[in-house]
Amino acid sequence: MSDDQWGHCQHCQYFGSHARMPLGNEEAECKQPTLSRYKLVVFGASGCELFVVRAGLRPDIEQHEQAFA
Ligand code: SF4
């Protein structure tokens, strides 16, 4: 899988936060179907290649952040 798919948990639809825009220091369960069996609790600043952009966020939010890193 390409690095282009990598994204932060805080922007991911599988991040089990109830916040509209979770923060990097927030902890929540990862609900990604393949990973959910492990009951992982991850930080918003974490990330992985199974990332899918969270509803309500711009599709290019990860590219936008990298441009200013
Ligand atoms: S670990 Fe991966 S799939 Fe799970 S919330 Fe974080 S970016 Fe999304």
Task: State pLDDT tens for residues 15-51.
Answer: 999 999 999 999 999 999 999 999 999 999 999 999 9
> In the chain, what are the domain boundaries?
3-67
| 58 Cα: distance to centroid of ligand 1 (angstroms) | 17
pTM above 0.85, yes or no: yes
pLDDT interval class at 65 (50, 70, 90): low
Work out whether strand 27-29 and strand 7-8 pair parallel, antiparallel, or are unpaired: unpaired
**pLDDT (0 to 100) of residue 2:** 46
**pLDDT (0 to 100) of residue 64:** 65
| 9 Cα: distance to centroid of ligand 1 (angstroms) | 5
Q: Is 28 in the pocket of ligand 1 (CB under 6 A)?
A: no
Distance CA 54, CA 63 (A): 14
**pLDDT (0 to 100) of residue 39:** 97
